[in-house]
Amino acid sequence: MQVLVIGNGGREHAILQALKKSKRVEKLYCMKGNAGTAEIAENVNVDYMDAEAVKQFALANPQIDYYVVAPDDPLAIGIVDELQSIGKRCFGPEKKAAIIEASKAFAKQFMHKYNIPTAKSATFEDYGEALEYIRKEGAPIVLKADGLALGKGVLVCETLKQAEEGLKDIMLNKSFGSAGNKIVIEECMKGLKYTPGEEVSVLAFTDGKTIKPMITSCDHKRSGDGDKGLNTGGMGTFSPCPFWTKELEKQVMDEIMIPTVKAMNAEGRTFKGCLYFGLMRTDKGMKVVEYNSRFGDPETQVVLPMLKTDLMDVFEAVTDGRLADIDIEWEEGACVCVVLASGGYPVSYVKGKEISIGDIGDCTLVHAGTAIKDGKLVTNGGRVLGVVAKGADVEEARKKAYAAVNNISWEGMQYRKDIGIKYREG
Protein backbone atom coordinates (compact mmCIF):
# COMPACT_ATOMS: atom_id res chain seq x y z
CA MET A 1 0.00 0.00 0.00
CA GLN A 2 0.96 3.63 -0.42
CA VAL A 3 -0.15 5.81 2.48
CA LEU A 4 -0.18 9.58 2.97
CA VAL A 5 -0.23 11.24 6.40
CA ILE A 6 -1.49 14.85 6.61
CA GLY A 7 0.31 17.11 9.14
CA ASN A 8 3.73 18.56 9.94
CA GLY A 9 4.65 17.73 13.51
CA GLY A 10 5.88 15.15 15.98
CA ARG A 11 2.60 13.28 16.03
CA GLU A 12 2.72 12.81 12.27
CA HIS A 13 6.36 11.67 12.37
CA ALA A 14 5.42 9.14 15.10
CA ILE A 15 2.50 7.83 13.00
CA LEU A 16 4.83 7.48 10.00
CA GLN A 17 7.43 5.66 12.13
CA ALA A 18 4.74 3.18 13.20
CA LEU A 19 3.47 2.73 9.62
CA LYS A 20 7.05 2.23 8.42
CA LYS A 21 7.10 -0.99 10.48
CA SER A 22 4.01 -2.30 8.68
CA LYS A 23 4.63 -5.25 6.40
CA ARG A 24 1.90 -4.02 4.10
CA VAL A 25 3.07 -0.45 3.54
CA GLU A 26 5.34 -0.03 0.57
CA LYS A 27 5.60 3.76 0.35
CA LEU A 28 4.80 6.66 2.67
CA TYR A 29 4.05 10.32 1.97
CA CYS A 30 3.63 13.28 4.30
CA MET A 31 1.73 16.50 3.51
CA LYS A 32 3.67 18.73 4.24
CA GLY A 33 6.03 17.10 6.74
CA ASN A 34 9.39 18.13 8.17
CA ALA A 35 13.04 17.06 7.96
CA GLY A 36 12.33 13.89 9.99
CA THR A 37 9.34 12.76 7.94
CA ALA A 38 11.45 13.30 4.79
CA GLU A 39 13.78 10.50 5.95
CA ILE A 40 11.02 7.88 5.78
CA ALA A 41 8.37 9.43 3.57
CA GLU A 42 8.10 11.64 0.51
CA ASN A 43 7.11 15.11 1.68
CA VAL A 44 4.38 16.69 -0.42
CA ASN A 45 4.21 20.46 -0.55
CA VAL A 46 0.44 21.00 -0.68
CA ASP A 47 -1.53 23.19 1.75
CA TYR A 48 -3.73 20.68 3.58
CA MET A 49 -6.15 23.44 4.65
CA ASP A 50 -6.98 24.01 0.97
CA ALA A 51 -9.61 21.32 0.31
CA GLU A 52 -9.55 21.81 -3.46
CA ALA A 53 -5.74 21.49 -3.59
CA VAL A 54 -5.85 18.29 -1.51
CA LYS A 55 -8.53 16.85 -3.79
CA GLN A 56 -6.59 17.72 -6.93
CA PHE A 57 -3.46 16.12 -5.47
CA ALA A 58 -5.38 12.94 -4.60
CA LEU A 59 -6.90 12.75 -8.10
CA ALA A 60 -3.47 13.20 -9.68
CA ASN A 61 -1.95 10.48 -7.46
CA PRO A 62 -4.20 7.42 -7.77
CA GLN A 63 -1.34 5.18 -6.55
CA ILE A 64 -1.95 6.44 -2.98
CA ASP A 65 -4.33 3.95 -1.37
CA TYR A 66 -4.97 5.49 2.04
CA TYR A 67 -4.96 8.88 3.77
CA VAL A 68 -4.46 9.59 7.47
CA VAL A 69 -5.71 13.04 8.48
CA ALA A 70 -3.95 13.73 11.80
CA PRO A 71 -4.35 17.40 12.90
CA ASP A 72 -7.53 18.99 14.27
CA ASP A 73 -7.87 21.84 11.77
CA PRO A 74 -8.10 19.82 8.51
CA LEU A 75 -10.51 17.44 10.29
CA ALA A 76 -12.64 20.40 11.38
CA ILE A 77 -12.97 21.72 7.81
CA GLY A 78 -13.91 18.29 6.46
CA ILE A 79 -10.80 17.14 4.57
CA VAL A 80 -11.85 13.51 5.25
CA ASP A 81 -15.26 14.20 3.66
CA GLU A 82 -13.54 15.74 0.62
CA LEU A 83 -11.23 12.76 0.15
CA GLN A 84 -14.07 10.27 0.64
CA SER A 85 -16.17 12.15 -1.93
CA ILE A 86 -13.64 11.11 -4.58
CA GLY A 87 -13.52 7.52 -3.33
CA LYS A 88 -10.40 7.70 -1.14
CA ARG A 89 -10.08 5.60 1.99
CA CYS A 90 -9.17 7.58 5.12
CA PHE A 91 -8.39 7.39 8.80
CA GLY A 92 -10.06 10.23 10.70
CA PRO A 93 -13.59 11.42 11.48
CA GLU A 94 -15.85 13.26 9.06
CA LYS A 95 -16.52 16.94 9.70
CA LYS A 96 -19.82 16.32 11.48
CA ALA A 97 -18.05 14.06 14.00
CA ALA A 98 -14.90 16.19 14.34
CA ILE A 99 -17.13 18.84 15.95
CA ILE A 100 -16.63 16.95 19.23
CA GLU A 101 -13.28 18.78 19.39
CA ALA A 102 -13.91 21.74 17.08
CA SER A 103 -16.67 23.16 19.29
CA LYS A 104 -16.27 23.04 23.06
CA ALA A 105 -19.87 24.28 23.37
CA PHE A 106 -21.04 21.27 21.35
CA ALA A 107 -18.93 18.89 23.44
CA LYS A 108 -20.26 20.23 26.74
CA GLN A 109 -23.92 20.25 25.67
CA PHE A 110 -23.41 16.72 24.33
CA MET A 111 -21.94 15.46 27.62
CA HIS A 112 -24.66 17.11 29.70
CA LYS A 113 -27.39 15.70 27.43
CA TYR A 114 -26.08 12.12 27.65
CA ASN A 115 -24.99 12.23 31.31
CA ILE A 116 -21.32 11.72 30.52
CA PRO A 117 -19.36 12.84 33.62
CA THR A 118 -17.76 16.27 33.15
CA ALA A 119 -17.53 19.63 34.91
CA LYS A 120 -20.77 21.62 35.18
CA SER A 121 -20.83 24.39 32.56
CA ALA A 122 -22.81 27.05 30.74
CA THR A 123 -22.33 28.53 27.26
CA PHE A 124 -22.71 32.21 26.36
CA GLU A 125 -22.62 34.38 23.26
CA ASP A 126 -23.42 37.56 25.16
CA TYR A 127 -20.65 39.22 27.17
CA GLY A 128 -22.99 40.75 29.76
CA GLU A 129 -24.69 37.45 30.52
CA ALA A 130 -21.33 35.67 30.76
CA LEU A 131 -20.04 38.30 33.19
CA GLU A 132 -23.13 37.97 35.37
CA TYR A 133 -22.68 34.17 35.46
CA ILE A 134 -19.00 34.44 36.47
CA ARG A 135 -19.90 36.84 39.30
CA LYS A 136 -22.64 34.49 40.47
CA GLU A 137 -20.41 31.35 40.38
CA GLY A 138 -17.24 32.95 41.75
CA ALA A 139 -13.65 31.71 41.48
CA PRO A 140 -11.89 29.41 40.80
CA ILE A 141 -13.55 29.09 37.41
CA VAL A 142 -12.50 27.95 33.93
CA LEU A 143 -13.10 29.89 30.69
CA LYS A 144 -12.93 28.17 27.30
CA ALA A 145 -13.13 29.80 23.88
CA ASP A 146 -15.56 27.68 21.85
CA GLY A 147 -13.48 27.10 18.72
CA LEU A 148 -10.03 25.71 17.94
CA ALA A 149 -7.30 27.90 19.43
CA LEU A 150 -4.12 25.82 19.08
CA GLY A 151 -4.76 24.30 22.50
CA LYS A 152 -4.44 27.72 24.10
CA GLY A 153 -8.06 28.86 24.40
CA VAL A 154 -8.51 27.68 27.99
CA LEU A 155 -8.03 29.92 31.05
CA VAL A 156 -8.05 28.40 34.51
CA CYS A 157 -8.81 31.44 36.70
CA GLU A 158 -7.93 31.41 40.39
CA THR A 159 -9.58 34.72 41.17
CA LEU A 160 -12.69 36.58 40.06
CA LYS A 161 -10.49 39.43 38.80
CA GLN A 162 -8.56 37.03 36.54
CA ALA A 163 -11.84 35.59 35.26
CA GLU A 164 -13.27 39.04 34.47
CA GLU A 165 -10.10 40.04 32.61
CA GLY A 166 -9.99 36.71 30.77
CA LEU A 167 -13.60 37.07 29.71
CA LYS A 168 -12.90 40.53 28.32
CA ASP A 169 -9.85 39.22 26.45
CA ILE A 170 -11.68 36.31 24.87
CA MET A 171 -15.06 37.93 24.10
CA LEU A 172 -14.28 41.62 23.58
CA ASN A 173 -10.60 41.78 22.56
CA LYS A 174 -10.93 38.51 20.60
CA SER A 175 -7.55 37.26 21.76
CA PHE A 176 -8.34 33.86 20.18
CA GLY A 177 -10.10 35.40 17.15
CA SER A 178 -13.52 34.07 16.19
CA ALA A 179 -12.93 31.03 18.44
CA GLY A 180 -14.09 33.40 21.21
CA ASN A 181 -17.46 34.38 19.72
CA LYS A 182 -18.94 31.80 22.04
CA ILE A 183 -17.58 30.96 25.46
CA VAL A 184 -17.94 27.96 27.75
CA ILE A 185 -17.69 28.73 31.47
CA GLU A 186 -16.91 25.74 33.62
CA GLU A 187 -16.69 24.67 37.20
CA CYS A 188 -13.03 24.15 38.12
CA MET A 189 -12.54 20.45 38.84
CA LYS A 190 -10.28 19.32 41.66
CA GLY A 191 -8.07 16.28 41.47
CA LEU A 192 -8.40 13.52 44.03
CA LYS A 193 -4.82 13.90 45.32
CA TYR A 194 -3.02 16.61 43.39
CA THR A 195 -3.41 20.32 42.64
CA PRO A 196 -3.91 21.09 39.82
CA GLY A 197 -5.84 17.89 39.25
CA GLU A 198 -4.35 14.68 37.97
CA GLU A 199 -4.96 14.15 34.28
CA VAL A 200 -4.63 11.20 31.97
CA SER A 201 -4.95 11.00 28.20
CA VAL A 202 -6.65 7.95 26.79
CA LEU A 203 -6.57 7.63 23.02
CA ALA A 204 -8.97 5.08 21.58
CA PHE A 205 -9.60 3.53 18.20
CA THR A 206 -13.25 3.43 17.24
CA ASP A 207 -15.14 2.41 14.13
CA GLY A 208 -18.42 3.79 15.48
CA LYS A 209 -19.49 0.39 16.83
CA THR A 210 -16.57 -0.84 18.91
CA ILE A 211 -14.12 1.24 20.94
CA LYS A 212 -10.67 -0.03 21.90
CA PRO A 213 -8.57 2.16 24.19
CA MET A 214 -4.83 2.37 23.65
CA ILE A 215 -2.36 2.37 26.54
CA THR A 216 -2.66 5.46 28.77
CA SER A 217 -0.31 8.46 28.86
CA CYS A 218 0.25 11.74 30.69
CA ASP A 219 1.10 15.06 29.04
CA HIS A 220 2.96 18.07 30.47
CA LYS A 221 1.26 21.16 29.08
CA ARG A 222 3.07 23.90 31.00
CA SER A 223 6.41 25.21 29.76
CA GLY A 224 8.28 25.00 33.09
CA ASP A 225 9.27 22.34 35.61
CA GLY A 226 6.69 21.59 38.30
CA ASP A 227 3.88 22.56 35.89
CA LYS A 228 4.78 26.26 36.16
CA GLY A 229 4.76 28.74 33.30
CA LEU A 230 2.64 29.17 30.21
CA ASN A 231 0.57 26.53 28.44
CA THR A 232 2.26 24.95 25.43
CA GLY A 233 1.38 22.34 22.82
CA GLY A 234 2.94 19.79 25.23
CA MET A 235 6.50 19.56 26.59
CA GLY A 236 6.68 15.82 27.09
CA THR A 237 4.73 12.66 27.83
CA PHE A 238 5.08 9.30 29.47
CA SER A 239 3.18 6.04 29.35
CA PRO A 240 1.56 4.34 31.15
CA CYS A 241 -0.22 6.65 33.62
CA PRO A 242 0.86 5.68 37.17
CA PHE A 243 -2.55 6.07 38.82
CA TRP A 244 -4.44 4.09 36.17
CA THR A 245 -6.11 0.91 37.43
CA LYS A 246 -8.40 -1.79 36.05
CA GLU A 247 -11.22 -0.25 38.12
CA LEU A 248 -10.71 3.20 36.57
CA GLU A 249 -10.53 1.60 33.14
CA LYS A 250 -13.86 -0.14 33.71
CA GLN A 251 -15.51 3.05 34.95
CA VAL A 252 -14.19 5.01 31.97
CA MET A 253 -15.31 2.33 29.53
CA ASP A 254 -18.83 2.02 31.01
CA GLU A 255 -19.55 5.66 31.89
CA ILE A 256 -17.54 7.57 29.30
CA MET A 257 -16.23 5.68 26.26
CA ILE A 258 -19.15 3.45 25.29
CA PRO A 259 -21.74 6.17 26.06
CA THR A 260 -19.76 8.64 23.90
CA VAL A 261 -19.69 6.33 20.88
CA LYS A 262 -23.41 5.53 21.25
CA ALA A 263 -24.37 9.16 21.77
CA MET A 264 -22.43 10.28 18.68
CA ASN A 265 -24.40 7.68 16.69
CA ALA A 266 -27.65 8.93 18.22
CA GLU A 267 -26.72 12.45 17.12
CA GLY A 268 -26.14 11.23 13.54
CA ARG A 269 -22.43 11.99 13.96
CA THR A 270 -20.83 8.53 13.94
CA PHE A 271 -17.19 8.91 14.93
CA LYS A 272 -14.57 6.78 13.15
CA GLY A 273 -10.91 7.31 13.87
CA CYS A 274 -8.94 8.07 17.01
CA LEU A 275 -11.03 9.59 19.78
CA TYR A 276 -8.96 11.22 22.50
CA PHE A 277 -10.34 11.42 26.04
CA GLY A 278 -8.65 14.02 28.25
CA LEU A 279 -9.71 12.83 31.72
CA MET A 280 -9.31 14.02 35.28
CA ARG A 281 -9.46 11.80 38.38
CA THR A 282 -11.65 13.66 40.87
CA ASP A 283 -13.19 12.78 44.22
CA LYS A 284 -16.33 11.91 42.24
CA GLY A 285 -14.57 9.55 39.84
CA MET A 286 -13.19 10.07 36.35
CA LYS A 287 -14.52 13.07 34.42
CA VAL A 288 -13.97 14.35 30.88
CA VAL A 289 -11.87 17.53 30.62
CA GLU A 290 -11.93 17.51 26.83
CA TYR A 291 -12.41 15.39 23.76
CA ASN A 292 -10.07 15.55 20.81
CA SER A 293 -11.01 14.14 17.43
CA ARG A 294 -7.50 12.86 16.72
CA PHE A 295 -4.27 11.44 18.10
CA GLY A 296 -2.72 13.63 20.81
CA ASP A 297 0.58 15.41 20.37
CA PRO A 298 2.93 14.47 22.11
CA GLU A 299 0.92 11.48 23.46
CA THR A 300 1.22 9.61 20.16
CA GLN A 301 5.01 9.71 20.50
CA VAL A 302 4.85 7.43 23.59
CA VAL A 303 1.79 5.35 22.69
CA LEU A 304 2.48 4.12 19.15
CA PRO A 305 6.04 2.88 19.86
CA MET A 306 4.44 0.38 22.29
CA LEU A 307 1.99 -0.98 19.68
CA LYS A 308 2.82 -4.54 18.67
CA THR A 309 -0.01 -4.94 16.15
CA ASP A 310 0.49 -3.63 12.61
CA LEU A 311 -0.94 -0.07 12.68
CA MET A 312 -2.12 -0.36 9.09
CA ASP A 313 -4.25 -3.37 10.06
CA VAL A 314 -5.84 -1.31 12.84
CA PHE A 315 -6.45 1.70 10.56
CA GLU A 316 -8.14 -0.43 7.92
CA ALA A 317 -10.24 -2.27 10.52
CA VAL A 318 -11.52 1.15 11.68
CA THR A 319 -12.27 2.28 8.12
CA ASP A 320 -14.06 -0.98 7.28
CA GLY A 321 -15.98 -1.27 10.57
CA ARG A 322 -14.14 -4.47 11.58
CA LEU A 323 -12.51 -3.23 14.80
CA ALA A 324 -14.31 -5.88 16.90
CA ASP A 325 -12.53 -8.60 14.91
CA ILE A 326 -8.92 -7.64 15.59
CA ASP A 327 -6.73 -8.01 18.64
CA ILE A 328 -4.62 -4.96 19.45
CA GLU A 329 -1.49 -5.85 21.38
CA TRP A 330 0.85 -3.62 23.37
CA GLU A 331 4.37 -4.06 24.68
CA GLU A 332 4.98 -4.29 28.42
CA GLY A 333 7.08 -1.56 30.03
CA ALA A 334 7.08 2.20 29.65
CA CYS A 335 7.89 4.96 27.21
CA VAL A 336 8.94 8.59 27.76
CA CYS A 337 9.12 11.52 25.32
CA VAL A 338 11.06 14.67 26.26
CA VAL A 339 10.28 17.60 23.95
CA LEU A 340 13.15 19.92 23.05
CA ALA A 341 11.94 23.42 22.23
CA SER A 342 13.32 26.67 20.86
CA GLY A 343 14.38 29.30 23.40
CA GLY A 344 11.46 31.63 24.09
CA TYR A 345 8.76 29.09 23.16
CA PRO A 346 5.72 29.36 23.59
CA VAL A 347 5.91 33.17 23.26
CA SER A 348 8.43 34.12 20.57
CA TYR A 349 11.46 32.32 19.23
CA VAL A 350 13.82 32.36 16.26
CA LYS A 351 14.02 29.55 13.72
CA GLY A 352 16.97 28.35 11.65
CA LYS A 353 19.35 27.36 14.49
CA GLU A 354 21.68 24.51 13.52
CA ILE A 355 20.99 21.33 15.52
CA SER A 356 23.82 19.11 16.71
CA ILE A 357 22.99 15.47 17.51
CA GLY A 358 25.46 13.10 19.18
CA ASP A 359 24.99 9.60 20.60
CA ILE A 360 21.37 8.95 21.50
CA GLY A 361 21.76 5.26 22.38
CA ASP A 362 18.66 3.28 21.47
CA CYS A 363 16.35 6.31 21.73
CA THR A 364 14.29 7.47 18.77
CA LEU A 365 14.06 11.06 17.58
CA VAL A 366 10.69 12.38 16.57
CA HIS A 367 10.89 15.58 14.55
CA ALA A 368 8.33 18.31 15.25
CA GLY A 369 9.73 21.57 13.88
CA THR A 370 12.82 20.85 11.79
CA ALA A 371 14.01 21.63 8.27
CA ILE A 372 17.09 21.17 6.13
CA LYS A 373 18.84 24.41 5.17
CA ASP A 374 22.03 24.42 3.11
CA GLY A 375 22.34 20.69 3.81
CA LYS A 376 22.14 21.18 7.57
CA LEU A 377 19.44 20.20 10.08
CA VAL A 378 17.96 23.37 11.58
CA THR A 379 15.14 24.34 13.95
CA ASN A 380 11.92 25.34 12.22
CA GLY A 381 9.32 25.73 14.98
CA GLY A 382 8.64 26.13 18.69
CA ARG A 383 8.70 22.46 19.53
CA VAL A 384 11.63 21.04 17.58
CA LEU A 385 12.39 17.43 18.55
CA GLY A 386 10.99 14.71 20.80
CA VAL A 387 13.45 12.27 22.35
CA VAL A 388 11.65 8.96 22.83
CA ALA A 389 12.96 6.18 25.07
CA LYS A 390 11.53 2.84 26.15
CA GLY A 391 12.34 1.05 29.40
CA ALA A 392 11.16 -1.60 31.80
CA ASP A 393 9.50 1.21 33.76
CA VAL A 394 9.07 4.99 33.47
CA GLU A 395 12.20 5.67 35.53
CA GLU A 396 14.44 3.61 33.25
CA ALA A 397 12.94 5.19 30.13
CA ARG A 398 13.31 8.65 31.70
CA LYS A 399 17.02 8.12 32.39
CA LYS A 400 17.67 6.94 28.86
CA ALA A 401 15.78 9.87 27.34
CA TYR A 402 17.66 12.48 29.41
CA ALA A 403 21.03 10.80 28.66
CA ALA A 404 20.27 11.30 24.97
CA VAL A 405 19.05 14.87 25.55
CA ASN A 406 22.51 15.68 26.94
CA ASN A 407 23.99 14.93 23.53
CA ILE A 408 21.65 17.16 21.55
CA SER A 409 21.97 20.92 21.38
CA TRP A 410 21.38 24.15 19.56
CA GLU A 411 21.56 27.77 20.58
CA GLY A 412 18.71 28.52 23.01
CA MET A 413 17.43 24.92 23.30
CA GLN A 414 15.07 24.47 26.30
CA TYR A 415 13.27 21.51 27.79
CA ARG A 416 11.64 20.35 31.00
CA LYS A 417 13.81 18.32 33.38
CA ASP A 418 10.88 16.63 35.15
CA ILE A 419 9.07 14.65 32.47
CA GLY A 420 7.84 11.35 33.90
CA ILE A 421 7.97 12.23 37.57
CA LYS A 422 4.46 13.36 38.41
CA TYR A 423 1.74 11.19 40.03
CA ARG A 424 4.52 8.78 40.91
CA GLU A 425 3.09 7.53 44.19
CA GLY A 426 -0.09 6.67 42.29
Q: What does the binding site for ligand GLY look like in residue numbers (CB under 6 A)?
A: 151, 219, 234, 292, 296-297, 299
Going 357 to 361 to 362 to 363, the CA torsion angle's sign is: negative
The closest alpha carbon to 166, from 138, 142, 133, 190, belongs to 142
353 by DSSP, 3-state: which?
coil
Smallest gap, in angstroms, from Cβ of residue 173 to ligand AMP? Answer: 20
Q: Which does 299 bind (CB under 5 to 8 A by kind): ligand AMP, ligand GLY, none?
A: ligand GLY
Work out whether the CA dihedral 184, 189, 195, 200 comes out positive or negative: negative
Return the residue of 213, 224, 229, 278 that touches ligand AMP, per CB under 6 A: 278
Name beta bridge partners: 241.
Answer: none
Using the rule CB under 6 A, is 101 a contact of ligand AMP? Answer: no
Nearest distance from C-beta of residue 154 to ligand AMP, angstroms: 4
Q: Judged by CB under 6 A, does residue 258 bind ligand AMP?
A: no
Cα 308–213–389 angle (5° rounding)?
45
Count residues binding ligand AMP (CB under 6 A): 16
Nearer to ligand GLY, 237 or 370 (CB): 237
The nearer residue to ligand AMP, 72 or 316, going by C-beta atoms, is 72
Q: How far apart are the first and last CA of the chain?
A: 43
198 binds ligand AMP (CB under 6 A): no
User: Which among 329, 382, 331 has a CA at the least distance from the CA of 353?
Assistant: 382
Contact 205, 261 (CB under 8 A): no
Helix (H, G, I), strand (E, B) or coil at 272: coil
Q: Does 189 bind ligand AMP (CB under 6 A)?
A: yes
Alpha carbon distance 189, 283 (integer Å): 9
CB of 368 to ligand AMP, least distance (A): 19
Work out how close the CB of 297 gets to ligand AMP at its nearest, in angstroms, rounded to a whole number: 13
Within 111-130, the residues that bind ligand AMP by CB under 6 A are: 119
The helix (run of H) or strand (run of E) holding residue 287 is strand 285-292
What is the residue-wise DSSP string for 179-216? GGSSEEEEEPP-BSSSSSPEEEEEEEEE-SS-EEE---
**In angstroms, rounded to a whole number, what is the distance separating the alpha carbons of residues 60 and 82?**
15
Nearer to ligand AMP, 142 or 261 (CB): 142
Distance CA(257)–CA(263), nearest Å, equals 10
**If contact means CB under 5 to 8 A according to the sort of partner, which of ligand GLY, ligand AMP, none does residue 234 touch?**
ligand GLY
Residue 142, interface with ligand AMP (CB under 6 A)?
yes
Least distance in angstroms from the C-beta of 197 to ligand GLY: 15
Give the residue with the Cβ less far from ligand AMP, 66 or 423: 423
Alpha carbon 231 to chain centroid, angstroms: 14
Backbone angles phi, psi at 91, to 5 degrees: -110, 125
Of 29 and 244, CB closest to ligand AMP: 244
Q: Interaction with ligand AMP in 155-184: which residues (CB under 6 A)?
A: 156
Query: Is position 289 an interface residue for ligand AMP (rule: CB under 6 A)?
Result: yes
Residue 88 or 287: which CB sits closer to ligand AMP? 287
Instruction: Closer to ligand GLY by CB, 90 or 203: give it.
Output: 203
CB nearer to ligand GLY: give 94 or 299.
299
Q: Compare residues 278 and 321 and give the one whose CB is closer to ligand AMP.
A: 278
Distance CA 243, CA 245 (A): 6
Least Cβ distance, residue 195 to ligand AMP (angstroms): 10
Q: Which residue is nearest to ligand GLY (CB)?
A: 296
H or E element: which one contains 76? helix 72-76
Q: Which stretch binds ligand AMP (CB under 6 A): 108-116, 191-199, 344-352, 398-406?
A: 191-199
Pairwise CA distance, residues 220 & 240, whole Å: 14
Q: Which residues lie closer than 8 Å to 87 by C-beta, 6 or more apart?
A: none
For the CB of residue 240, give the shortest distance to ligand GLY in the complex, in Å. Answer: 16
Is 143 a binder of ligand AMP (CB under 6 A)?
Answer: no
Q: CA–CA separation, 163 vs 156, rounded Å?
A: 8
Residues that bind ligand AMP (CB under 6 A): 119, 142, 151, 154, 156, 186-189, 196-197, 199, 221, 278, 289-290
